[in-house]
Amino acid sequence: MSGAAIAICLGLCLLFFAWQQRHQLPIGKRGKSFSRQLRPQHPQLERKLLKLLGGNQNTAARLIQQSRLRNPDKPADWHWEKAIYDLERDRWR
């Protein structure tokens, strides 16, 4: 192999690894863990919401963050209960 071919292969490998780091898929079903700010005081709320969402933590975090933007004065558990309530309500319509 010529030096140019080796340089091209190395460049492609570096590009692939850079892309992989940026678009890394979550490990297992749970993905990234919640930040301390998003966690409820009662862990059963987190388990119930994740069960309703099939373990999708990204969706759960998005729902909690949207609720926090709309109701910033409410406690953490309220946001989790609201997300659970909304999901259950919408599924039975």
Q: Give Cβ neighbours of residue 70 (< 8 Å, ≥ 6 apart).
A: none
The domains of the chain are located at 3-91
The two three-digit tokens of residue 38, written as one number: 């998003």
pLDDT in tens, 29-80: 444 556 656 778 888 999 999 999 999 999 999 999 999 999 999 999 999 9
76-91 and 43-52 helices, crossing angle to 10° = 30
Cα atoms in the Cβ-side hemisphere of radius 13 Å centred on 3: 0
More reliable by pLDDT, 55 or 24:
55
The yes-or-no verdict on residue 24 having pLDDT over 60 is no
More reliable by pLDDT, 4 or 80:
80
Q: Give Cβ neighbours of residue 75 (< 8 Å, ≥ 6 apart).
A: 41
Q: Give Cβ neighbours of residue 86 (< 8 Å, ≥ 6 apart).
A: 63
Show the beta-strand stretches assigned E in the chain. Answer: none
Predicted model pTM: 0.60
User: What average pLDDT does the segment 1-10 reach?
Assistant: 83
